[in-house]
Amino acid sequence: MANRGPSYGLSREVQEKIEQKYDADLENKLVDWIILQCAEDIEHPPPGRAHFQKWLMDGTVLCKLINSLYPPGQEPIPKISESKMAFKQMEQISQFLKAAEVYGVRTTDIFQTVDLWEGKDMAAVQRTLMALGSVAVTKDDGCYRGEPSWFHRKAQQNRRGFSEEQLRQGQNVIGLQMGSNKGASQAGMTGYGMPRQIM
């Protein structure tokens, strides 16, 4: 973790709001899935945000996770370093993030390296792992291990084809979004400038 002093005022309020988004139950589910998915002897971390961060911080668990979602021989990160050097560990986190994006996780769902490295936004790390799990369940290519109910299946593309005649017929219909003129008439209207007759 970075050597930063405590934050005060607005910075502290913002940090507290970010920390409130962290879900301890989701942490347990994600840890169980990662251990099951990697199918290796990965040590189960003690519960808690700080332990979860420390467990993922060197990037080796994340790299093993993304590699396990590919068939053998097609892993996106061929060499996983066990180095204790900070820049190597941050580089591995960056490799995981790039591989997750290539795998199908949207850019908006991906956390920043410092969110994990400095523990600034562990909820963003959870969101990225949830999105990765959802993409893995949706792909259904046989590489996902775990309960399919742990993650939401993403919507698939559903293209519709219309004939030229159907498209022409659709141009003659006034959509309800434009409003309706049913029941509209000018009965009871008076000329401009005339006072209304209220009885």
Q: How many domains does the chain have?
A: 1
Which residues lie below 8 Å from residue 129, measured CB to CB, with a gap of 6+?
Answer: 30, 34
* Token pair in block for residue 28: 């347990």
pLDDT value at residue 15: 67
State how far the alpha carbon of 30 is from the alpha carbons of 9, 77, 92, 106, 190, in Å. 33, 21, 19, 19, 70
Q: Report if residue 190 sits inside a domain.
A: no
Q: Per the domain annotation, does 166 fall within a domain?
A: no
Of the pLDDT bands very low, low, confident and very high (cuts 50, 70, 90), residue 121 is confident
Region 113-142: mean pLDDT is 87
pLDDT at 177: 63
Does the model's pTM come out above 0.85?
no
160 or 133, greater pLDDT = 133
CA atoms within 13 A on the CB side of 58: 12
- Looking at 39-85, list the stretches that DSSP marks H as alpha helix, in order from N- to C-terminal side: 49-57, 60-68
Contact indicator for 134, 148 with CB cutoff of 8 Å: no
Query: So what's the pLDDT on residue 167?
Result: 83
Quickly list H helices, the chain.
Answer: 9-20, 24-38, 49-57, 60-68, 86-103, 113-117, 122-139, 164-171
Return the exposure string of 67-95: e unless at least 16 CB atoms fall within 10 Å of the residue's CB, then b. bbbeeeeebbbeebbeeeeeeebbebbeb
133-150 mean pLDDT? 84
DSSP 8-state assignment for residue 193: T
Q: Which domain holds residue 112?
A: 9-148
Q: How confident is residue 199, by pLDDT bands cut at 50, 70 and 90?
A: low
CB 104 within 8 A of CB 139: yes
**CATH classification at residue 59:** 1.10.418.10
What is the Cα 4 distance to its own chain's centre?
29
**Is the model's pLDDT at 24 over the cut of 70?**
yes
What does the mean pLDDT of the chain come to? 81
Query: What is residue 144's three-state secondary structure?
Result: coil
Average pLDDT over residues 42-47: 85
Considering the domain boundaries, does residue 167 fall inside one? no
Average pLDDT over residues 10-23: 70
What percent of the chain lies above the pLDDT cut of 90?
14
| Residue 172 domain-assigned (yes or no) | no
Whether residue 4 lies inside any domain: the answer is no
152-196 tens-digit pLDDT: 777 677 778 888 888 888 777 766 666 666 666 666 666 666 666
Select the more confidently predicted residue: 104 or 183: 104
Q: Is 136 domain-assigned?
A: yes
Which of the residue ranges 7-16, 27-36, 142-151, 162-171 would you say has the lowest mean pLDDT? 7-16
Residue 144 lies in a domain: yes
Only one residue has tokens 């400095």, namely 118
> Which residues, other chains included, contact 86 with Cβ-Cβ below 8 Å and sequence gap of 6+?
none
Residue 183 in domain: no
pLDDT-derived band at 94, boundaries 50, 70, 90? very high
Q: How far is it, in rounded angstroms, from Cα 12 to Cα 1?
A: 17
Residue with tokens 């219309």: 162
Backbone angles phi, psi at 99, to 5 degrees: -65, -35
